[in-house]
Structure 1
């Protein structure tokens, strides 16, 4: 009798399924679970030819082929709706890594499953269960969910080579911001042997926004990472410090505001938020030891520096300001100087400051005016008009992303009018050399200079997207001494170049190359590109942004000595 009821109700359900389902649910709820259990027929949807979907990649963002699983129908399941799916991650690895489960029906009523993984996650092992489920139109038939396990293993991308770190290069304390900080020449006084170059370690970091390598601090045997998390996923922590020796995490902290850049001095780290707020921690812990909020904002310009015991910080409320804070007590500025723009109606942002503590002079190129200021009180000693950006964005601002470079001749200053920070974005700009003390122009060149210029020994090096070449120019007159063409397989130059006595390190979207300055040929290259920096110990750091559901970057280090 029950079997006859099921057959008749099932046939009627095809026409009146929604009403029957609702009515039956109400009726059975009133009668109690015993009657429901008696009338309901629980069935399996599919039989799978695999019990799990598995993938293994060598590093984050590696490619996983879709895992194919055949789902053979049971009990004419194909007459109902196509099932939906859900990922249930295990508590030990709560990050969701399944990108899709395609469910393609076959002619015989079976279904071909295609399971795709999302690999833009931290290295680790991710496991869980995928559940196929459906809502039956027959109120007296319940379809049991079909489940199978998944496992994704993401490796770190290579074996660490943790050799003993060499001694600090004489005269170098840290690398930070445009041109590595200091005089911003991008120069490290060291001779290198490419036969000794090798990968050291790799870490993968995540951030809620795009990160720029120029915002990192490399010094004192550590790497400070603003707005980056070296953990397994979003955690609310926004500042991290890791060991240069082996890449291990030294500490993480949740600062009051997200910092976009960091600089170090002594045993202190100064983290700067885009609102103009500076938060001070020690190098060993994330406790905030000091706090200062400037008027205006600092945008995303890693153009601040420390000189003569003062933190020099550009800010931009609506006009340009340069403030000097005492590194021992940042509460109140020692001085603040207003720097007007030379073009009416233009608002320049993201410019940097360079200081020479020995001479007590500070140099800026803000708003199309090159200026010399006294480090002691911010008084303007000299100023001159120079080429600058003259186009506005939609918000009425002109972003320049540059700071003066002070070459070793002691008489010149190298200026870049402006550039863009976005990967691959080339803008027409000026490379200008002026007299350091007066601002009088000595020579000017135009192109699409992608990078902050680097210089040593009377030569200026720039990467020019318009010629797709690295150009070596005479500091004295700008004449072209030699070029190194970008490989034909590559698309654009990245930043920041690093210069040594023997090699120039450059990066494209595809690779990082060490150009031998004597032979002007590639002496070493690795198939990863990004922002470049060099620690005082002579370890090359490459920060490579990686696209994905989470903003992710690869932080790679290379032994050079």
Structure 2
């Protein structure tokens, strides 16, 4: 019996030893809580918008709403293209709705942009865990359009600048418009889908035409009759304005037309005698004209009400015709030996800045002051006979100080352009095109005029190329590097770039166009 008890005790001891100890039951792993589904709906206020080439910015809102609940945090995560859009303020949450505001970047190159906007809801800021049903996207399209070419040298500043980068490798011939019996065509205006021109005919008639910007086919025409002279058209608000003169009088007519249909709206009157007119200038619904029976008068009209606003006499009195007024936010600028500064609202003469370099070469000016930057206006020093072969110095006026800032050491021949602090002008007397520092007048670089050629018309500047015409052809040269020739066309004349990205070359007998994109 004792042996049996000892055996039992030995067995029990062995069972309690380290080698044979029992393993405790494992702690159960908790079942993970499934991430709930949060179904998201995106509601943008716009999926396609249009902005202008200038500093205009389009804006829109985006509401991201969700259904469902979660005991964990709900963190929104939004992705978009920062090269096109910026978020305009913080996200605002109201219940199950996250509200965003966006605006487009200013100064974008004119083209079509496509940007995918992605939204999702996460359990943490790092977005390691994404709620099912919350990942949604939509595509936002932005068209950045070129601005209208409204008047001489494009706009009321007359700076000849187009904010766009063009690739000469893709330039192609587009269309030509050459009506029979044409004896002259004035510089054009253009808006999307339209190019407007004033044409003289061999029978003495003067006709305003609208041609299709894409095809060059005629859309409408309006006869001015057998007038003595007429300007090129100018776009002013939703009107088209053409200055005309039948005979010397105090009742010459600015014809106001509907640019879409060519229908007549009214005549606005002004004084002139045997004048040749530059295009008038418009800002908003305000129209400005430089004329007068003996010159030296600036007229302003309201094209919304189709009434006169004011007229005012200049201080110089040396220019009768061929000039268009320059406009900025506050003032209208008129050159007639002095640079006169008029208040836009009242027509009051704010100040007159004398030009000691002024030279009289006849009653015609054939150009305009240029508002090259705030507080800086540049103008040719003197009048010119009806030819751009006469070269004159350029003078820069400090508007705030009422003084001359600089006078160019060389004389120039065509209508200059200015952009980003650089003024571009061609000189027939010196045989070169110069790039001048806008603030000092110092020559930064020059391009030699080919032998036997002369500059004509105007200079047009973009972000990458400089366009100009000679008597032989139209050139595009690079603004950077060696300023080498990137493209030429076998036509020459007045240049413009339309909102449809077409280079328009206007000669005395035809309009030739080239697609730039």
Range into which the TM-score falls when normalised by the shorter chain? 0.5 to 0.7
1:246 maps to which residue? Answer: 215
1:28 maps to which residue? Answer: none
Change (3 A) 1:392 1:495: closer
Give the aligned CA root-mean-square deviation in angstroms: 2.6
1:525 maps to which residue? Answer: 488
* Structure of greater Rg: 2
Aligned partners of 1:540, 1:526: CA distance in 2, in Å?
11
Whether 1:333 and 2:308 are equivalent positions in the alignment is yes
Change (3 A) 1:494 1:523: same
| Distance apart, 1:513 and its partner CA | 0.8
Whether 1:492 and 2:454 are equivalent positions in the alignment is yes
Aligned partners of 1:421, 1:539: CA distance in 2, in Å?
31
Aligned partners of 1:413, 1:508: CA distance in 2, in Å?
26
Aligned partners of 1:304 and 1:312 also within 8 Å: yes
2:67 maps to which residue? Answer: none
Aligned partners of 1:469 and 1:485 also within 8 Å: yes
2:476 to 501, 514, 518: 514
Change (3 A) 1:411 1:392: closer
Whether 1:301 and 2:280 are equivalent positions in the alignment is no
Change (3 A) 1:303 1:380: farther
1:217 maps to which residue? Answer: 189
Which secondary structure does the structure 2 equivalent of 1:189 belong to? coil
Question: What count of residue pairs does the alignment treat as equivalent?
Answer: 371
Task: Name the TM-score, length of structure 2 as normaliser.
Answer: 0.66
Query: Structure 1, residues 370-421: CA drift from partner, whole Å, max 9, x if none?
Result: 121111110111211015653354xxxx21112211123x231111124657
Change (3 A) 1:324 1:235: closer
The correspondence of residues 155-554 of structure 1 with structure 2, limited to 5 A, is: 172-206=146-180, 209-213=183-187, 216-228=188-200, 236=205, 238-255=207-224, 258=227, 259-274=230-245, 276-297=252-273, 299-330=275-306, 332-341=307-316, 346=318, 348-356=320-328, 359-365=329-335, 367-387=336-356, 389-393=358-362, 398-408=363-373, 410-418=374-382, 420=384, 422=386, 425-488=388-451, 490-519=452-481, 520-545=483-508, 553-554=509-510
Unaligned 5+ segments in structure 2 are: 1-109, 113-141, 247-251
Which secondary structure does the structure 1 equivalent of 2:456 belong to? coil
| Distance apart, 1:281 and its partner CA | 1.6
| Distance apart, 1:529 and its partner CA | 1.6
Task: Name the TM-score, length of structure 1 as normaliser.
Answer: 0.61
Aligned partners of 1:422, 1:298: CA distance in 2, in Å?
13
Aligned partners of 1:454 and 1:462 also within 8 Å: yes
Aligned partners of 1:513, 1:166: CA distance in 2, in Å?
23
Aligned partners of 2:358, 2:183: CA distance in 1, in Å?
26
| Higher helix proportion | 1
| Higher strand proportion | 2
Aligned partners of 2:207 and 2:225 also within 8 Å: no
| Distance apart, 1:255 and its partner CA | 3.0
Aligned partners of 1:523, 1:404: CA distance in 2, in Å?
30
